[in-house]
Structure 1
């Protein structure tokens, strides 16, 4: 049995344009199709596409919006003989232009998301810059990725949540909290959440990813991601009951991230920093290789050219009598010693021979 072909859909950008041209919100489109607002946001961003019956309903709604937008054309009574030359195709983007476009599209939102994860403004900017520097170094790989924005987002999150930042002197002390009291309370609750729950909450309720995409980006199963999300929501609702509604929580997360007015660096600065970092590590690798070659050559030069057997250890000699020490003197030996000590030390008296 052959499967029926999927209903064609316009591009994600065109889907959003048709909705805005029809003066419809994402919530209204979600109500007509029978899905959540987060799902409509994912369709318009191109992260996912509808399937099955929802795809048909969504395609029919977009077709209706396109028909309402199309102006009525006047009937042509006479054939037109003018020829219109086709517009020349747009030149392809250079790697630098494509990178700058991706950076301009993703960097502002990524800095705000990293701030929600860490509570540190400088670390949020640094995480995004490092992620894009790595993306520029691996641009041939990132450019053909099916989701370049997701690639950079995952890299920025990994850097921002690295536990090694606690050993850096500049990040040992907390930064100044937000000015508003409600923002301070929400940020304090977010930072008390375990890292996996905080990341899952930001991806689902902040970015708007669906549950399977959130699970894939956090390298967890879908049930595990759902459990983390529910635990994070319960923890926030226990401390801030007014944020028990997911829609209100999404709005407050967006406001908290937008209040700080965080700005990322310019794309040329990021590309220049990436190239400078790549040159530094390349020179460091070359210097290490040269040092290793020099050490090996010195070892070969000073190594012995022939085998020298080691000196055998000394062998133990058997049969040697034990060393005997002088014992105590007897009474006769003591008397003799006293007698000798009492004699003249200059020798015996000389005898004079008698004459006859």
Structure 2
């Protein structure tokens, strides 16, 4: 059976697990370089894989599924909402003072510059790929890369050499990764920031062998499905509320025009009681004359027999 037929024989869950085993360990290291915090790096990787499972048809047919996961991880790691969580603001410093100085220099870079530097000098993407992943033009990506290198070299002159900068990026990522697992630092592999091709042959891997504890692919798929069900139920509930409110409005709304009732107003320009004053002589004569008249008016007319 050819590799193409074997790939087609994979179920969606198996393909997702293979992608997880291929990308997750390296993505934690890369996210640690971007954020300086192991917990934030782990959360970003988990969130990226949850989103990937929710949109698996789109990710599975993407030309570069690993690039899709990496871009989503970077977006989650550099989200500005993290600044509102106090425990995610301060970095986790590596044990070596040299690495700590390098980490401080990295974290002082603007997020877009830091992302470009990690992709080009750390992961090893070429300039057009880096520009595409950062949603920038190639000249803009090149400008960010040059400025990032200059800013790092201004603080650490020994890192002016791109080869040395790459080595230190790999070392810092490996130091933070191993410190989380409680292992002593060792000589990092030159490809420590790149996905491991050998990991893809183990689709049943549930967590990286070192680094921050991260949920396995089964747990991530379950979390993604729970999130999808939650939003689907929320959308249904909101639709039901809108339909109910519309029906209630149609039931209680008037079917014809009702003229508004004008508010009452006091009658103006009438004298208050007791404010007329005494009657004049002429008015007294008229009042006496009226009282002498028959109370019912003129005499009642009665028929007469003739």
1:230 paired residue among 146, 159, 164: 146
Larger Rg: 1
Deviation, structure 1 residue 277: 1.2
Deviation, structure 1 residue 108: 0.8
1:160 paired residue among 40, 55, 77: 77
Q: Give the length in aligned residue pairs.
A: 238
1:131 paired residue among 48, 56, 69: 48
Q: Distance in 2 between matches of 1:92 and 1:251?
A: 39
Q: Which has the higher contact order (CA 8 A, sep 6+)?
A: 2
Q: Is the 8 A contact 2:36 2:92 kept in 1?
A: no
Q: Distance in 2 between matches of 1:170 and 1:181?
A: 22
Give 1:266's aligned residue.
Answer: 216
Deviation, structure 1 residue 322: 10
Q: Are residues 1:306 and 2:306 paired? A: no
Give 1:189's aligned residue.
Answer: 105
Give 1:252's aligned residue.
Answer: 168
Instruction: Kindly provide the CA deviation profile for residues 188-240 of structure 1, in whole angstroms up to 9, marking residues without a partner as x.
Output: 01110011100100000011000011111111111111111000001111101
Q: CA 1:256 to 1:288, structure 2 compared with 1: closer, same or farther past 3 Å?
A: same
Give 2:132's aligned residue.
Answer: 216
Q: Are residues 1:287 and 2:237 paired? A: yes
Q: Distance in 2 between matches of 1:256 and 1:269?
A: 29
Q: Distance in 2 between matches of 1:279 and 1:303?
A: 36
Q: Distance in 1 between matches of 2:82 and 2:139?
A: 30
TM-score, normalised with respect to structure 1: 0.62
Q: Is the 8 A contact 2:38 2:92 kept in 1?
A: no
Q: Distance in 1 between matches of 2:231 and 2:270?
A: 72
Give 1:35's aligned residue.
Answer: none
What is the aligned-residue RMSD (CA, Å)?
Answer: 2.5
Residue 174 of structure 1: SS of its match in structure 2? Answer: coil
Q: Distance in 1 between matches of 2:9 and 2:271?
A: 101
Instruction: Kindly provide the CA deviation profile for residues 110-163 of structure 1, in whole angstroms up to 9, marking residues without a partner as x.
Output: 111111111111111111111111111111111111111111111111111111
Q: CA 1:321 to 1:310, structure 2 compared with 1: closer, same or farther past 3 Å?
A: closer
Give 2:33's aligned residue.
Answer: 116
Residue 250 of structure 2: SS of its match in structure 1? Answer: helix
TM-score, normalised with respect to structure 2: 0.71
